[in-house]
Amino acid sequence: MAFSADELRVLRRALAIALHPAPLQDEDVQDCLRLAESVDEAVREAGRLRAFLLDDLVRYREALPGSLAGYLGLLRDALNAGYDPGVDDLAALRALRGNPAAAELLARCRILAERSVRARLARVSQATGSPAPAPVPVGAAIAPRARLLALPGGRAAAGEPKPNPPSGPAPGEKPVPKPSEVFPPRRRPVPPPPPEERVAG
């Protein structure tokens, strides 16, 4: 944002009055009000330009890879204007990282995204009073879930008897029959003798 010579004079006068309060003349008050209106209008115009830039960025991103050059230029301008890259930008740049310019922007966007996540976590921790968890690096692989393992104790520790390994029957106990004893194998039927043998008999 650039100030004209007159606006700089008014700004200097306003700062001097803020540091050393003194009665203001009506002309000085009107000049300060006009300067404030100019600053507000410049802020609104910057917001409109930012909105247009981000809309163009979305359109160029949706038209990838044909709009590669335009997308990279718009993304670079948006980053210079304070834009925090989103998940869609990171995904698009990962798909285009074969291009050197895209790979360079991907590295820059990862740093900015991690910085943004850290800042949000710090704000949350200040609001809740609890320490912020360590952020997961952007693009890091998710670690596999740990498998549940049996821990010592459980029902056996509560007084229930532990199962014994397979062994012979205790003295006085009836042995458990084997399946072959309960269900004996079927015998194959004997075919009847030939007719000659029956007549001879």
Please tell me which of 13-27, 53-67, 182-196 the model is most confident about, judged by mean pLDDT: 53-67
pLDDT at 103: 92
Token pair belonging to 105: 């922007």
Q: What b/e sequence results for 68-94 when a residue is b if at least 16 CB atoms lie within 10 Å of its CB, and e otherwise? A: bebbbebbeebbeeebebeeebbebbe
Token pair belonging to 145: 């879930």
pLDDT at 143: 42
Amino acid at the residue 84: D
Instruction: Measure the CA–CA gap between 73 and 50, rounded to whole angstroms.
Output: 14
Token pair belonging to 142: 């998710």
User: pLDDT digits over 105-149, tens only?
Assistant: 999 999 998 998 888 888 888 877 766 555 555 444 434 444 445
pTM of the full predicted structure? 0.49
